[in-house]
Amino acid sequence: MTLEQFKNSQIPVVEIFKSISGEGISQGEVVTFIRTAGCNLRCSYCDTTYSYDECNKDNEYLTADKIVERLEELGCKSIICTGGEPLETGKAKRYIPLYLAIKGFKVRIETNGSCPVYSDEEIAAFLGENSKVSNNKLNLENLPIFYALDIKCPGSGMAHKNLFEENFKLLRSGDEIKFVVGGEEDINYALETIEQYKDVFSSKEVVIDFSPVFGKIDPKKLVEMLVEKDSYFTDNNIKVRLSLQIHKFIWNPETRGV
């Protein structure tokens, strides 16, 4: 898809709202969310099933420039692109985060880990002759795009969809990996994955979040694990943290738009 084709596309948008970030590195910061519709996965614990359907009558269909206009009206330059799956391939919505970064927003993408993140080659192909601004080539190093990349554990029912090497090689400092865990099997899977890719996580200086499935596992179990494994993480220069979804403690867990 070219930039011009993208700008003429109608993007299915579930909601745009300003609040605080509920989880991850940006937790507690004021951000604006844009949630696009459609997802290629069906995780067992999904709390945004209302975003599955691209044709939902409640969706808005907006051009990229209209989305930029809406975001500018809200007055916050920190954006979280979420879904659904914002990086779903073959869809115009995939390029919303990239377009927002070009427009001067700082963008964090919450992605389910089954779709490829951007590469320099994809960015160049999308932008074409527009790939340079003030003689500087736009690429992964100078665009304010960061990832909160899920690694699906067995409890999600979607672990077979993970893209590991393809995505890990494109991560950088400021990105985060998220394991959403619902029980012992998921904890063990997460630890085995970290062991397998510990050199990548260390060298890329990514942060690893352990996030409990809300209402399914006692967060204390994750605290106990993190304390027990502290020396392992420290010795391997791996940054780990517990990430609770604080918006579910502030508001009713079913509340939308917060």
How far from 101 is each of 31, 84, 197, 230, CA to CA, in Å? Answer: 14, 20, 29, 36
Q: Is 46 annotated as a binding residue?
A: yes
Q: Quick one: which of 146, 158, 92 has its CA closest to 118?
A: 146
Q: Is 20 annotated as a binding residue?
A: yes
Cα–Cα distance between 213 and 190 in angstroms, integer? 14
Q: Could you give the angle at the alpha carbon of 29 between the alpha carbons of 23 and 30, nearest 5°? A: 115
Q: Is 21 annotated as a binding residue?
A: yes
Q: Is 43 annotated as a binding residue?
A: yes
Q: Is 108 annotated as a binding residue?
A: no
Burial 117-155 (b: 16+ CB within 10 A, else e): bbeeeebeebbeeebeeeeeebeeeebbbbbbbbbbbbb
Q: Is 45 annotated as a binding residue?
A: yes
Helix axes 219-228, 184-196, angle to 10 degrees: 40
Tokens of residue 224, six digits: 């106990």
Strands 11-20, 60-62: parallel, antiparallel or unpaired by DSSP?
antiparallel
Q: Is 218 annotated as a binding residue?
A: no
Tokens of residue 1, six digits: 């898809």
Q: Could you give the angle at the alpha carbon of 48 between the alpha carbons of 245 and 69, nearest 5°? A: 90
Q: Is 217 annotated as a binding residue?
A: no
Distance of CA 247 to the CA centre of its chain: 17
With residue 132 as reference, give the H or E element that holds it: strand 132-133
Query: Per the annotation, where are the binding residues for substrate?
Result: 20-22, 35, 82
Q: Annotated binding site for S-adenosyl-L-methionine, which residues?
A: 45-47, 84
Binding residue ranges for Mg(2+): 48
Name the binding residues for [4Fe-4S] cluster.
39, 43, 46
Residues making up the annotated binding site are 20-22, 35, 39, 43, 45-48, 82, 84
